Amino acid sequence: MSVRQSLLAILDQGPCYGYQLRAEFDRRTGSTWPLNVGQIYNTLDRLERDSLVEKGDVDEQGHVYWQITDAGSAEVQQWWAAPVERSGGTRDELAIKLAVAATLPGVDVAAVIQTQRAASLRQLQELNRAKYAGAGVDSPEELAWSLVVDSMIFAAEAEVRWLDHTEQRLALHPQHAMALELSTEKPKRGRPALAEVAGSAT
């Protein structure tokens, strides 16, 4: 998630100081992605370096108000117009963990899946409880919070479905048949072996 673009989008509505920006971000995300003030100011410094924001007025309490530049407003419009790009490869820890577990001898991959499913179902129940506890309040903050929670619920449901799918696929293959022993072939890329280096030097 882009903190940079989110803060720019808020500043596009008017000047804010650091703590105010954090509060505005929290209001719009239901505090589901907590930011510390240091992170806010580091982001503002980078935005200023890139000429997307600039320092403005200082109030009687000493708060420095940051304001967006024309270039910053243009970047916000580009953000709204562009889709969120998902990475081509996966760096999802769970997917990698299960892929490795399924191909290593001696790992009880069914137990790994069961442990994860139990944790995913607990998270799903907590998210549903939180959503229903907040239902009925008709405010912009409640709507923003519920959109984020809905996204988390759908992601947790998809994870449980994927775990079920993975368990079914693995049940079709005896685990000993899926195990990959360590390869005896030497990798062809990377640093040359010491003997090769010594041989080329003579």
Q: In one letter, which amino acid is 187?
A: P
Q: Please give the torsion angle defined by the CA atoms of residues 84, 164, 179 and 119, in that order, rounded to the nearest 10 degrees.
A: 80
Query: If you average pLDDT over every residue of the chain, what do you get?
Result: 84
Give the bridge partners for 67, in sequence order: 54
Can you tell me the distance from the alpha carbon of 175 to that of 102, in angstroms, rounded to the nearest whole number? 7
Two structure tokens written together for 138: 């008709």
Structure tokens at 196: 């090769």
Q: What is the pLDDT of residues 17-54, one digit of tens each?
A: 999 999 998 888 877 778 888 999 999 999 999 999 99
At residue 40, the pLDDT reads 93
Helix (H), strand (E) counts: the chain: 9, 2
**CATH fold of 3-81:** Arc Repressor Mutant, subunit A (1.10.10)
The residue behind tokens 């500043």 is: 11
Residues of the chain scoring pLDDT < 50? 1, 197, 202
The pLDDT tens digits of the residues spanning 147-160 come to 888 999 999 999 99
Query: Any idea where the domains of the chain sit in the sequence?
Result: 3-81, 93-178
Token code pair at residue 171: 């049940």
Task: Using alpha carbons, select from 120, 132, 154, 141 the residue that is nearest to residue 32.
Answer: 141
Three-state SS string across 20-69, please?
HHHHHHHHHHCCCCCCCHHHHHHHHHHHHHCCCEEEEEECCCCCEEEEEC
**What pLDDT is recorded for position 202?**
47
Amino acid occupying residue 123: Q
User: How many other C-beta atoms are found inside a 10 Å radius of the C-beta of residue 7?
Assistant: 28
Residue 131, pLDDT score: 78
pTM over 0.85: no
Nearest to 40 by CA among 63, 22, 16: 22
